[in-house]
Every structure is written in C-alpha cells, then in structure tokens.
Amino acid sequence: MIYKMKPVCFKPMYHWLILTALFSLCITVSNAQHFQFRTYSFNNGLSSYNANKIVQDNYGFIWIATQEGLNRFDGNDFIAVKKDPLKNNGLSENYVTGIAKDNKGRLWIASALGGVDQLNPENFRIEQRLKADSAAKNKLITNWVRCLAWSPQQELWIGTYYGFNVYNSRDNSYRAFIENPFNKNIELNISFTGLDSIGNIWLIAENNGIIIYNMKTKKMVTTISKEQLGIKADETFNVTGLFVDKPNSIYVCSSKGLKHILYQSNKYIPSATDNTFFRSFENADVRALIKDRDERYWVGTAKGIFVSNGKSAPEKIIHSDFFYNTILDDNINCIYKDVFENIWVTTTKGLNLFINDEYRFQAYKAKSGTLNEIKQVNVLYPDNDSLIYACASTGLFKININNFSTSGILNSDKYGEMETLIRVNKNGFLVSSVQQLLFLQVNNDHYQCMDAGYVFKELMPIKFNYFSTFLKYNDSIILLGSMEDMGLFKWDIKNHKLKQFKSQLNASNCLHEDNIHNIKSDRSGNIWLLCNESITKYNPLKDSFVNFFPKIENDEHGAPHFFFDLYDDGRYLWITSYGNGLIRFDVKDNSFTSYTEKKGLASNATYNILSENDSIIWVSSNRGLMKFNLSSTLSSSYFFSDGLQSDAFDERSACKIGNNLFFGGIDGFTSIAKNRYYTAAKRIPVYVGKIIFTALNGELTEINSLNGVNSDLNIKPGPVTFHIISPDYANNNRDNYAYRIEELNDGWIQMGSKKEITLAGLAPGTYHFQGRIYNAHGVTSDSQTIEFLVVPQWYQTIYFKLALILLGIMVISFFYGYRLSQLRKQHQIRKEIAEDLHDDIGATLNSVKIFTHLAETSPEKKKYFANIKESLTQASVGLRDMIWVLDDAGDTAGDLLKRLAMFAHPVAEATGIYISFNVDDTARDTVLNKTEKRNLLLIAKEAINNSIKYAESKNITVTFSRLHNKNVLTVEDDGKGFVQNKITPGNGLNNMQQRAQQIHYNITLKSAEGNGTKITAMKR
C-alpha cells in the first residue's frame, strides 16, 4: 500500500495528532530476482570485454575465450594467451571461437583463420597445432574453425564454415565431412557441436538444421531440419547451446527459441514441451541453459537471464539501482557451471560470476535520486516474521522482507533523523527522532503520528529529549537510554510512572556515566547498559547497579572504548567496542580479552552482534561484516565486493528474523541467509602458479607451471619470487597464505592475504619451496613442492674456494718465511753486536784491568790512569752506538748523519779540523735496516778517524745521497793523500770492506798525494 504525506498539525493535548496520509517511497521487485554477481571486464585485466565461451581446466581454473585471446582466471588475476609474432608459443590467432578440454586435461583452442591449437594449461605451452594444407588430404578442411567438441573416443570434432573434421588424437588421423545432408548444393556450415547422453554428437548446420552422428561409428544417425522445429524456411536459424534435462529429454538453445526434442524408440522427435517455464522461451533468442545445485534453471538470452525451478514462470535477473553488483548487461553469450557450483556468465561487456558461497548476501537500498532514499539506517526493528521497521537518516520506513517492498512512513524533513523505536503495545510504537519523542499508532496499515507527551503524560518532561536505545523489559516496563547526558529512564507503562537514574559522585549503587549507547539483556535476563567507559549490570526490579570497567591488555587506542552491543553465549559475554574490536568478558573472574585486527578481524571498530548458531556470531563494523567462530576465535570478513550494501555499518542497526540476519548502515541494509545447498570443499586446490627469477644467462625469467618445474630449475643468486594461487573463487579475498622452505623453516611462515613472497640472499644450494592456503572455513591445503638450485657464482664455487685456500697457504707460508728470515737477520744482528761487544768491550775491559794493575805497581800512576780513562771513554761510546743502532726511532739516513756529527764534531774541533755533514732532501728519509745502520756508522767513523789521525787535513765532508735509487755514503778530506799502490791496506780499510760486504755495499777508495782522500760506500 502506498501513502502520501500531508502536513501534520498538533491539536490540544487531549486530542490525537492525526496523520491523514503518509508519504511513501515504495520499492518493489516484481517478477524479478536478485543475484549477487562479481563482474570483470577490460579494466580488471580481461583482454577483451567481449567474452563468448568458458571452460574449467583440471586444476580448477577458468579459461575465457574472447575476441582478443584466451584468458586464464585464478580468482584475482587474468593471464592472457595471445598470438605472439616474436615467439612461437602463442595462439595462431587471437579471435577464439571455440574451446574444448580433452581426457588428459589439455585445452584445444579454435580461432578464426588460425586452425586449432593444443594448449597445456600447466605451463601455457602450445604443444600441437592443427592446420589446413591444400597439398595434403589428411589435414583440416580450413583454418576458419567455428566450434569444437571432445568425444570419449579421444577424438576432436571440429566444426568449420565448410564442413567438419574428426581428428583422432591416438594416430593423428583426420576424417573430413563436407556434404550438406539438407542440401548438397549448399556448403555445410557447422556453427555448434555438442554431446548428448545417448552417445551421439550434435552438429548444427547453420540455417539448415541439426545433424546427429554416432561418435563411435562416425555414421550419421539422423537429421532434424529447422522446418521440423517449427522454423520457416526463410528464417535464420542458429544454435549456441545444448541441454540434456533427462536422458531422453533434450533442449536446444536456438536463435528461434528453446526447442524440445525427445529420444523415443531410438528416434529423435521434436516435441512441444508442456512445461510452463520452457514454453516461455519458445520464440526467444536463447543462448544457454543450465541447472544449478538449487535445482533452478538458468536461461541466457539476448535480453537477459531468467531463472525458475522449472515449474513456475521465469523470473528475470535484472540490473536495478535497488541492488548492488548486478550482471553487467543483458546480452548473454554463454552460461557455465563449474565444479564448485559457481555460475559463470559471459556477455558482450565482460565476465560475470555468481558465487555458490556458504552465505548469500542481499543488499537493499531505496531508489537512487528520490527525495527520501534510505541513506543511512540507524536501527532495524523486527515487528513480526515478515516486517521490519528501519529508522534512517531520511525517515522511518516499513520493509516487507517477503518481497522487500519498502514504504516511507515518517519524513525526516518534518521530524528530523529517526534514531530508534519500540512497540509499546498492540496499538503502536514509541519513536525517537533527533527532535522529539513520537507515538506512532498503527491500525490496519493506517498510521497516525502523535506527540508522545500528549499520549502519555508521564513522558511530557522528556518529549524533546534524544534517545539512542529502547528495551522492553516486560509487559509493563520499557527502558530508555539517553545520549544527552540524561542517563537511564525506567518507564512503567501500566502505572504511568517515569523514573530517571543518573550518575552520582562517589556513589556506589548508581550509573557510572550518563551516556548510554545500547541496552541489552543476557540469557539470564540481566540488563546491561553499554556506555563510553563502563558496562553496567542493572536490575530493574531492585533498581540496583553494578559497574564494570574493562581493563584490556595491550590497549591499542586507550579509553574511552565506546561499547555498543552485547551477546551472551552461555559462558562469556561478547561486547563490541570502538577501538578494541570484539571483547570477551568473563563475568566470574571479571577478566576481559580483546580480539582485534592483529588477531584477524577486519576492523577494531565493531558495532552489532547477531548469532547464527551457538558457535557462530556475525559482527558488523566500519569495514564490512565478520563471521566469528566463538570456539576457534577465527574470523572471516565480508565486504562490499561480496554483496554488502556498503562496508560501513551503524552502531545499533541489526536484527534477526528466523534464520535471516539483517545489518544496516550507510546506503541501506544487507540480509544474510545460509545457503542450504552449500557444501564446503574438503580440499582447496593450491598451486605455485608463477616463479620469477634470474636465469643463469642473466635474464629475468618467469615460469608458469601448475605441476611444478619439470626440468631442473637453476637460478643465479638473487631474489626469487613465488606466486601462490588457488581457484577458491568464493573465498579468494578471505583466504590466508603461508609458505615454507624445508631447508630453512621448521614450520610455516604466515603471509596473511599476500599471495607473493620474494626470497633474497639465499646461499648457493638446493631448496624445496611449498605453499599453503587457509580458506575461510578453516580448511588447509598444500601445494606441490618446487625444487630449485641456487647456482653459485664463480667466486662461490668449490674450485674458487680451494684456490683461495691454496693462495692463503702460500701467503701464510710467504709471510712465515719472511718473518723467519727477519728473525734470522735479527738473530744475526744480535750475534754480530754480541761479537762486537765481546771484542770491543772485552778488549777495553782487559786493557783497563792491565792499566789498573800497572797503576797499582808502577810509580807512574798518572799515565796509567789516563789510559784507563781513555779506554772507558771508548767503551762508553761503543755502548751508546750499539744502543742507538737498536733504537727504532733513528733508522733514517738523516739520523745516521746526526749520530756521526755527535761523534765527530768534538774530536774535529779539538784538532782544528772543520767537518761538515750533508744529506740530500731525496735521501733524508731513507730507511736503513739495523745491520745497514750499524755498519754504515762504523764505516763512517773509521774513515773519519783515519782522516783526523793521518791525513793532516783541514776539512772533512760527510755526504749521504741517492744515485740511481741506490744509497751512497761518502767521506772526503783535503789532507795530504797517498799513492794507493804504494801502501798496504791496514786493518781499518779491511774492516770497512768486510762491513760493506755484510750489507751488500761496495767500498771504493780514491787518493793521491797532495789531493786528499775520498772513501765511498755504495749500495749494490
């Protein structure tokens, strides 16, 4: 019934305010059914919006034939197989006209002008091509193939524009049939092939009729002309589908209607059907016909899909603004039922999927663009088994859940947004809007709206208050919860009394706070008030209050929590909250446990709870609906894409009628019904569908293989990506994934909803990868194991490592030998120093001993004491020289000359000789080893001593330089000189020669009478 609204006027208090007529927004779905579809088109990855045929492979994946190639769909992604001129592994042509699956699971693909390609769905490889060849008889008639059918005899029946072939896959032989049995002068144009249950194959000769062959004998059984089917000779005739309803009852989907053929007495007889449903399509352009698990027939036509149980008239599946996610368009190409009982529909605008899910969602909203469409449902209130009242932002609505007709009762333009209502008695409802309290009287679908304060005088003081929730405690008491800091009101209807309860400072038996979100009762009849920070247990008979303050570990948001709803499962109370998800409250020990996004919920902002049964509850949120298992605490999430009216729901908008659940929120409400025909898959197929890695040649490589990798999978060190896929179309967006590598992981590594995992930094070696899926029903399934070898780089090979070890040994040996040599040299130096000390110091001490003895016994003591002093001085100088040699701080050529200057200057000054020391800048920092340093010092001292003692010189020059990168030490004087060949070398010159020899130096002596002497020590 439709009502129209007139202005409402308020009369004196004792008069009722009469609403003479009501505005109405009426939405009815007449002769139509709503089915929730997921739709996919070009924007979702489908290679072409024009999809025509579908087949499911043995792995569960769907293959869609389009005019732009073949597409495999795994529930999330499309992979297109097309013609690729650069590679020899693509389709022969892109316009796919037919597709068939053989007994081994391989797909045979027909294309316009491309012949037939055999595709392996495991790895996307084309393994065989059937082509026409004018020079060979045993080939296809033509490459222009229109349709395919695979027979139990392992033969492929191939329909073309010029007849048909039968290809025997066992011996690769062909048989050609080109004669048209209807008219030998007309080419045989085969547009469709299909198998019946008798063992025969049906071939459609376009515009002629039906040809039926025996698949074993390849002999024609019979023909049925289009005239026999009731089609005029000048009318076009084509067939796109064949449906075997019963072994002897066959329906042909044709451009001239649904034709019924009976098989009786070994004959095919066209027969008019007595079925009302099928008779509805006698003249329609029928494209497809199937029967689903619910025993419903689906008929696809050029003007939409129609469904029926086969006994009643067909109802069209339509697109409507009232429903969400309807079919893309009405121009149907084909309908396909997969092994999971999902229904796939191809149209000229894409692919449509009707899920055979465990639950069926139906989303409802008011018609878009009307004055008072339902924009947000605040409360859903069930009045009886077929009627729901919806308090919405746009008004109050009445909804018949049998036919979902919706009528507007109160307009928000007049009364404001509607918040909540409750039936007071058989005469009407108490309604709260944001402006006032109203009483809505109902009398046989006639509504009278009145001021609640005039109808019930006790409500007069609060008639302009805003209430968020009502609860009827018993026949006489209604509880009213306020969101305006007014606390709780207890209304005694029979005695016409109203009592208010508010929080009191430092009081125990009272409310803790005055803002009440919801009032709920548990199984024991206790009343619970859900507030911002507290949950209060209230006894209306005793007016007693007990406050609870949830203390939640790892509180993610902090107080206040804002508690909205409560459900009693018999052991625990489950409470929804804003910020801490779903909270489990154990009243006995006053403990609280929260279940949040970290534990699998879709959102931490939860609103309403409805129970499906004792172990399953449904929870609404600001991000979809969640099905929560109270025993396992596992949850599944559902979203707008699953058929909800929106992902955003309201705080108090939920109700249950029978087995149907209703949740309201933004843009309307959604009903949930259990699918009684649904059977959850015992095992979900799961595969490693794609592997991306760097091959040994350095190229980034992608492998698609559902049965693992047949050949050795050798990869270079670096990232390797595994993509886990599953044809779990119903729960694909709710499935969780995991993986493990046997060599690295003891358990499974959880991936959440992520389907790809990239592994990096794997050391060279053999690994085994395995994927796992956890579906929404708790069923797990594992993929096949993928073995792969990370091949070491050249520097990671055993040979390189052995070479490194060998090189290390050689280096260690070298340094060990070098160190040993250095130790030997140091030992030799110490030995030589010891010998020098023994010779020089020993001789000196022996002289001291002798001189001392002589001094004691001889009267010339002074002389011997002088000798003792000189000997000790020489010993002291020798010791200082040895200490300087051993000191690492003076190992350069500059240091050598400084030491010589300290020795020579005092002696030269005492004898009136000028001595100078020169070192080149390039040679100043030349480092000398200990032996070199000691011997050069002694050589230079010997030469200087000789010049001072014997040369009678006035000047001595000592020079250190570098000549041809060799050290050169020179001592030169301007003394009297001598003739070299007239003298015999003494101990001093011999000592210099020996010391030079020890450090690989050469001594040269140059002297002439009157021209001085020059002694040079030069590094060899």
Averaged pLDDT, 536-555: 86
pTM for this structure? Answer: 0.68
CATH of segment(s) 45-285? 2.130.10.10
Cβ-proximal residues to 669 (8 Å cutoff; 6+ apart), any chain: 363, 364, 365, 374, 377, 380, 390, 645, 653, 662, 663
The pLDDT tens digits for 497-532 are 999 999 988 778 899 999 999 999 999 999 999 999
Q: CA-CA distance, 666 to 991, in Å (whole number)?
A: 112
Q: pLDDT at position 340, please?
A: 86
Q: pLDDT at position 23, please?
A: 35
pLDDT higher than threshold 70 for residue 708: no
Q: How confident is the model at residue 254 (pLDDT cuts 50, 70, 90)?
A: very high
Q: CA-CA distance, 389 to 406, in Å (whole number)?
A: 9
pLDDT > 90 fraction of the chain, expressed in percent and rounded: 49
Higher pLDDT, 1016 or 712: 1016
Higher pLDDT, 572 or 839: 572
Q: How confident is the model at residue 123 (pLDDT cuts 50, 70, 90)?
A: confident
**Most confident range, picked from 76-80, 552-556, 901-905:** 76-80
Lowest model confidence (mean pLDDT) among 28-37, 632-641, 723-732: 28-37
Q: Give the bridge partners for 72, in sequence order.
A: 63, 79
Asked if 740 and 778 count as a contact pair (C-beta separation under 8 A), the reply is no
Q: How confident is the model at residue 685 (pLDDT cuts 50, 70, 90)?
A: confident
* Phi, psi angle pair for 892, to nearest 5°: -100, 170
Q: CA-CA distance, 605 to 625, in Å (whole number)?
A: 11
CATH topology of domain 687-789: Immunoglobulin-like (2.60.40)
The pLDDT tens digits for 323-381 are 567 888 899 999 999 998 899 999 988 999 988 776 778 888 755 444 457 789 999 99
Instruction: Show the tokens assigned to 897.
Output: 């000359």
Q: pLDDT at position 26, please?
A: 35
pLDDT higher than threshold 90 for residue 865: no
The pLDDT tens digits for 623-652 are 999 999 999 888 888 888 788 888 999 999
Q: How confident is the model at residue 711 (pLDDT cuts 50, 70, 90)?
A: low
Q: pLDDT at position 777, please?
A: 66
Q: How confident is the model at residue 571 (pLDDT cuts 50, 70, 90)?
A: very high
| Amino acid identity for residue 840 in this structure | D
Q: pLDDT at position 861, please?
A: 66
Q: Of 398, 456, 410, 457, which is closest to residue 434 (Cα–Cα)? A: 410
Written in H, E and C, the secondary structure of 530-566 is EECCCEEEEECCCCEEEEECCCCCCCCCCCCCCEEEE
* Residues 628-635: contacts with CB under 8 Å, at least 24 apart: 628/582, 628/595, 628/601, 629/778, 630/569, 630/572, 630/574, 632/778, 633/595, 633/599, 634/600, 634/778, 635/595, 635/600, 635/601, 635/602
The pLDDT tens digits for 151-190 are 999 999 999 999 999 999 999 999 999 999 999 999 999 9
Domain ranges of the chain: 45-285, 286-352, 687-789, 797-886, 890-1019
Lowest model confidence (mean pLDDT) among 295-299, 429-433, 548-552, 564-568: 548-552
Higher pLDDT, 715 or 23: 715
pLDDT higher than threshold 90 for residue 97: yes
Asked if 477 and 519 count as a contact pair (C-beta separation under 8 A), the reply is no
Q: pLDDT at position 22, please?
A: 34
Q: CA-CA distance, 617 to 569, in Å (whole number)?
A: 9
CATH topology of domain 890-1019: Heat Shock Protein 90 (3.30.565)
